[in-house]
Amino acid sequence: MGADRLDSRAWLCWGLAAMTPLLLGRNPWVLGEVLLIVAIVRAVWRPVMSEQGMGWFLRIAATFVVVGVIFNVLTVHSGDRVIAELPEGWPIVGGILTANALVYGVLGGIALFTLVLTGLTIATLVSWTDLFHVLPRRLAPIAVTGSVAWAFLPQTAVAWREIREAQTMRGHRFRGARDFVPIVVPLLAGGLDRSLAMAEALEARGFGVSERMGRQPRSRSLDWTFAVGVILGLGGLAVAAYCLAVGMMFWAILAGVIGGAALAVIVRFTPAPGSSRTRYRLLAWRSADSLVSVTALLAVAVVILRNGTSPASLAYTTYPELTWPSVDLPMLLVLGILLAPAVVYRPAATS
């Protein structure tokens, strides 16, 4: 059952399961448990993670959390626990400052930070190459575009650090905003160079070219059908996620079915590109992948079910009164199965 790596599809299932309760509610017990689970899984799998340049995102997320908490306290003048009061004549911030706004801001910050932490964990453990091979051939351009976009920010963060260190070694000192100009200019130039190199590499590998392109023109009606299907599918899934978050279960199910059906139709009936794929390694689905995927999907099902039958299990508000959050012990125990990746991890044997 132990494994030194998991299939990318299993990691995506786990990431979905970890993010779902964060998007549906602000119950402190749920937020704390999910944050603890993600931190444990991240610590266990750290030896095989490639986190070069990823630390910047956590710092940015932490900064946004602090700014969000301060903004919420200064702008939301509601609640029964008054901790201070500013003159009413002050625009926007004038009025009472409450512990209700402080607690709600902290909970929102924890949810945001946990979402970012989960996303970074998945980003460093998912292999875009593996996902490219398991996706339908009709969605290959989307997979390549997604992999390029996902890798852009980490590469930019690494380039930023290298340029800053090089400028520091040349005696450059940072005293104000103007001192960052010698770093921003080479960073933009390097970004353009990386974009051109990526475009040339994709063109050299025949990206977007099919075997039939030189013999017969592509049907514009098929292109329009594919575009409309993708928009309808992704839009339906987005609407389903929103309806699920606000408790509209019927519309969430309806939008999810429409979106999934649209994506299934374009994958099934849109002609596949004529180009073939070259595989140098066959993907193996192991028992550890099955365990992580099944436990993740089970957690998602339980969270969605409890959100529909007992909203207080996930939802929590500090307005108008600051009360003690409810505890749904069965759901907390079910969320504990998200520790499956930490349980199945076994370091690779070294000779």
Rounded to whole angstroms, the maximal C-alpha distance in the chain is: 75
Of the candidates 76, 61, 187, the one whose C-alpha atom is nearest the C-alpha of residue 120 is 61
Q: In Å, how far from its chain's centre is CA 310?
A: 26
CA dihedral 119, 122, 126, 132 (to 10 degrees): -40
Structure token pair of residue 231: 């928009």
Residue 48 gets which letter from DSSP? G
Q: Supply the pLDDT for residue 213.
A: 47
- Global pTM value: 0.80
CA dist 241 and 245 (Å) reads: 6
Instruction: Tell me how far CA of residue 99 lies from CA of 30, 248, 286, 339, in angstroms.
Output: 21, 30, 49, 33
Q: Higher confidence at residue 16 or residue 153?
A: 16
Q: In Å, how far from its chain's centre is CA 199?
A: 26
Model confidence over 188-228: pLDDT tens digits? 777 777 777 777 777 776 665 555 544 445 566 767 777 78
CB 283 within 8 A of CB 134: yes
Which stretch of 125-129, 135-139, 297-301 has the lowest confidence by average pLDDT?
A: 135-139
Model confidence over 332-343: pLDDT tens digits? 999 999 999 999
CA dist 313 and 25 (Å) reads: 8
Q: Supply the pLDDT for residue 129.
A: 73
Of the candidates 96, 107, 100, the one whose C-alpha atom is nearest the C-alpha of residue 81 is 100
Of the candidates 220, 237, 11, the one whose C-alpha atom is nearest the C-alpha of residue 119 is 11
Structure-token match 């706004």, residue found = 101
Q: Higher confidence at residue 134 or residue 314?
A: 314
Structure token pair of residue 106: 């902290």
Element (H, E) at 90: none
Residue 207 gets which letter from DSSP? T
Q: Is 312 helix (H, G, I), strand (E, B) or coil?
A: helix
Residue 104 gets which letter from DSSP? H
42 pLDDT more than 50 = yes
Residue 46: what are its φ and ψ, rounded to 5°? Answer: -55, -35
Structure-token match 């960073």, residue found = 187
Instruction: Tell me how far CA of residue 81 lies from CA of 26, 77, 94, 148, 318, in angstroms.
Output: 19, 11, 16, 49, 10
Q: Supply the pLDDT for residue 133.
A: 74
Instruction: Tell me how far CA of residue 58 lies from CA of 110, 130, 153, in angstroms.
Output: 12, 26, 13
Which stretch of 82-96, 129-143, 238-252, 332-346 has the lowest confidence by average pLDDT?
A: 129-143
